[in-house]
Structure 1
């Protein structure tokens, strides 16, 4: 994988860990997740006029992605309501590349080198070690996290293929971001009422803009990278966001990190190096 692709995927991983921390820190995680999705759409709007429309073949994937993104944000909020970030984030992000690596040969007909496969397995081992080390969290948190790993693997496939068919990965990403917040806020309004939703937006809109811009930029970088390198390899390298999440948990949330968390971080870094050399 080229160095410039690796660096941009790593920057996207930092952005991803940051917006997840914003959701975890929020008082209403469901509405904060919806706000971040909306912030991504708002960030996308100014650029749409300057980009070509995605090719016709990509639009069914944009529609499917919207449904999967709706499920993703719902499960993110549910997982963070019931579990510690040290448990939830590694499980969600660590299991997804394993699922993709195990099935990409059948679904995408991509062949991975032995080195790339070793890097994927090393990164996944590191993030799963972090999850096993974390003691906070309930059985429900584990269920939500594993379910979301399946959703992540699903939308990675959908968007990886859709971005390739679209002719322009950036355009695909921006158009893909518009529908999920509509679904999320429609559902929130149905469940919570317009007054509660409006009140939360009025007091927390800035969280959505900051987190949303980071979210759309992070995913856009990943989709662009998927047009330059195998989907499974990019998906695994993106999971180095765990390292950034660990730093955020210690410096911002003041969570205590054991030696096992740091050891797992080293394993993840080694996995990234293996991917670079593959």
Structure 2
């Protein structure tokens, strides 16, 4: 992986953590995710005018990925209603690269070196350390199914997007149409679960969701592009540097509690990132 790709992923990770912080700070997380998804679709339509239409063989990957994106977004919104950002985010995001690595290593294939694999595993141990608060606090046990669902969604769309974008050969076209088709799927699911009241959205929620949507779109475009330049499990792992940003945002802005275990866990994640870059 080149230093340019590595640096771009770090920047994308910061914006990924930022949009999650915005959603966490909103009064209605589900409606904020709804606005975010709508912004994705609008940006996707705009980009679609300047890129080629996806090839036929790309569409199965696009549609399956869109379903996994909806699973992730829905579970994450529900999880944010039950736990603080610094605890929810590491479980939801950090478990995903381990799942991706295992699937590629045992089922698909991977060109990663042993050093890179060690880096991903170290990141995983750090994630487990971050998750300790959620497992020990009874009040937070309710968020575990949602966060694990978000992790499965993340792993699923990472794999399908990584392979699909390579088949497409055009990251911009792929992400544009991915987000276009995600909108009706997500809207349908939310409408069934929440009813017509979901369309009563306050102005503040529109603002937060819109900014979060722009951050999210840009962040994931970088990830899609990076998956065409480097091993997919490696990109999936480096995206989770966002965990460190999220913890800092949670502590500084939302006054989330921290302790020695979280600091050690963050250090393990950082060590994994450094080893991956060696």
TM over 0.5: yes
Q: Matched residues in 1 for 2:250 and 2:61: separation?
A: 35
Q: CA deviation at 1:146?
A: 1.4
> Which residue is equivalent to 2:25?
25
* Alignment partner of 1:151 out of 136, 150, 153: 153
Residue 127 of structure 2 corresponds to 127
SS of structure 2 residue aligned to 1:178: helix
Measured against aligned partners, the alpha-carbon deviations of 1:147-180 in whole angstroms (never above 9, x if no partner) come to: 2211211111111111001120121011101122
Residue in 1 that maps onto 2:69 = 69
Measure, in 2, the Cα distance between the counterparts of 1:28 and 1:38: 16
Gaps of at least 5 residues in structure 1 are: none
Mapped partners of 2:268, 2:204: distance in 1: 40
Gapped runs of 5+ residues in structure 2? Answer: none
1:44 and 1:111 map into 2 onto residues whose CA distance is: 32
Residue in 1 that maps onto 2:185: 183
- Label 1:192 to 1:148 Cα distance change in 2 as closer, same or farther (>3 A): closer
Corresponding residue for 2:163?
A: 161
Q: CA–CA distance in 1 between the matches of 2:83 and 2:249? A: 17
2:175 aligned residue: 173
Query: Could you say if the C-alpha distance between residues 54 and 143 of structure 1 is closer, same or farther in structure 2, counting changes exceeding 3 Å?
Result: same
Give the structure 2 partner of residue 16 of structure 1: 16
RMSD: 1.7
- Cα deviation, residue 26, structure 1: 1.6
The answer on whether the counterparts of 1:133 and 1:260 sit within 8 Å (CA) in structure 2 is no
Matched, 1:38 2:12: no
Contact 2:71–2:149, Cα closer than 8 Å, also in 1: no
Aligned to 2:247: 246
1:94 corresponds to: 94
1:48 is matched with which residue? 48
Task: Specify whether residues 250 and 88 from structure 1 end up closer, same or farther in structure 2 by C-alpha distance, changes over 3 A only.
Answer: same
| Alpha-carbon displacement from aligned partner over 1:112-161 (angstroms, at most 9, x marks no partner) | 21111011011111122111145655222112111221121111111111
2:60 paired residue number: 60
Give the total of aligned pairs: 276
8 A contact 2:9–2:238 mirrored in 1: yes
**Contact 1:123–1:240 (8 Å) recurs in 2:** no
Cα distance in 2 for residues equivalent to 1:182 and 1:112: 37
TM-score (norm 1): 0.93
Q: Is the 8 A contact 1:13 1:218 kept in 2?
A: yes
Residue in structure 2 matched with residue 207 of structure 1 by the alignment: 208
Aligned to 1:83, the other structure's residue is in SS state coil
The structural deviation recorded for 1:20 is: 1.0
Residue 226 of structure 1 corresponds to 227
Cα distance between partner residues in 2 of 1:198 and 1:242: 31
User: Is 2:31–2:205's contact at 8 Å kept on the other side of the alignment?
Assistant: no
Residue 259 of structure 1 and its aligned partner are, at CA, apart by 2.5
Q: Offset of 1:263 from its aligned partner?
A: 2.4
String of CA shifts for 1:169-225, please: whole Å, max 9, x gaps.
12101110112222222333344343x333215552222211111111111111111
